[in-house]
Amino acid sequence: MFSKISSLAFAGALALIAFAAAPVSAASNVGPEKCQECHRAEHGVWEGTAHFTSFRSVHKHKDAKAIAEASGGDKSLRRNDTCQTCHTTEVGGKPKAGPSCESCHGAASAWLPIHNDLGGPTVKPGDEAPAHKAKRLADAKKAGMIHSSMLYDIAENCNGCHTMQNVDAAMAGKLIDAGHPINGNYELVAYSQGTVRHRFYPPDITKNQEMNKAELARMFLTGHAVGLVYATKGAAASSNATYKAAMDKRIASATAAIGAVKGKVGPAGALLSSPTEANARKFVDAIQGEDLSGAVGGMLPKKYK
């Protein structure tokens, strides 16, 4: 994606290492190489992103040491617990990669054996019995896997790092004052459907498929629902002017997007008046299967990151 970390790329490198939204207490990361054993195409896409390349460069950024020190932890980004929350994938207590598979899909030690059990050693993915597959996916989710269909949870992980929600507001202010970027213009579709898109789904698992307009509209609204909840909470908790301004931008864009479907989606009004996670999830549940591209199509990004 980027070979050098400019201020924009550095902000873009705040990728997604929030651990599973449905936490499993004993879960730990297994690392992207484990995922590569089956998901080679997806791994190949990841290697072309700033999520991958940032591991070799973000700790060398001119402000990295000052930002790490501002957290109160180790001055090395790679040994700093606060920094590692978003900037690395830890395996066995050590940073092994930049933001990667488990950054979105949850620490995999508990769910990977379930995910990999197709019903027998000779069963290939396309030959798995439907009932077994349904149970396997359900059990993996219970064990902490965030499936690609769990868009709200994935959006939480993206927002958690890209808008600095994985640290409390006071810490975010300290990091910003030390030079850490904050992206008030973060939008899920723009950041997920460009270089990081990895949609190798049936019937053609060799093709990295693009979303249609209805799917893009649902992702757009889901991202804004999560953003509204996070930004409202962050703005209320912070005294840092730069951070508050960024959160206010997120609130404004989310309010416009959700407001555009207020007459079409019942829970939209409740979410706008009370931006809680419960109301956001009700809103996202209500838009499943709906084509709202007519209402928000003009707001969708024209270019992807």
| pLDDT tens per residue, range 22-74 | 344 569 999 999 999 999 999 999 999 999 999 999 999 999 999 999 999 99
Q: What does each C-alpha distance from 49 to 67, 71, 88, 304 come to in angstroms?
A: 23, 27, 14, 13
* Tokens linked to 35: 């995922």
pLDDT value at position 202? 84
pLDDT value at position 81? 95
273: Cα separation from own chain's centroid:
25
* Tokens linked to 52: 């991958």
Residues with Cβ within 8 Å of 234's Cβ and at least 6 positions away in sequence, in order, are 163, 164, 165, 169, 172, 243, 247
Q: Which residue has the tokens 């769990």?
A: 150
Task: pLDDT band for 125, please (50, 70, 90 cuts).
Answer: confident
Residues with Cβ within 8 Å of 106's Cβ and at least 6 positions away in sequence, in order, are 19, 20, 21, 22, 24, 27, 144, 145, 146
Write the pLDDT tens digit of every residue in 172-207.
999 999 999 999 999 999 999 999 999 998 889 899
Tell me the Ramachandran region of residue 266: left when phi exceeds 0, alpha when psi lies from -120 to 50, beta otherwise.
Answer: alpha
> In 3D, which of 107, 60, 105, 235 has the Cα closest to residue 163?
235
In the chain, DSSP assigns E strands to: 89-91, 94-97
Q: For residue 15, is pLDDT > 90?
A: no
Write the pLDDT tens digit of every residue in 253-288.
999 999 999 999 999 999 999 999 999 999 999 999
Beta bridge partners of 91: 94
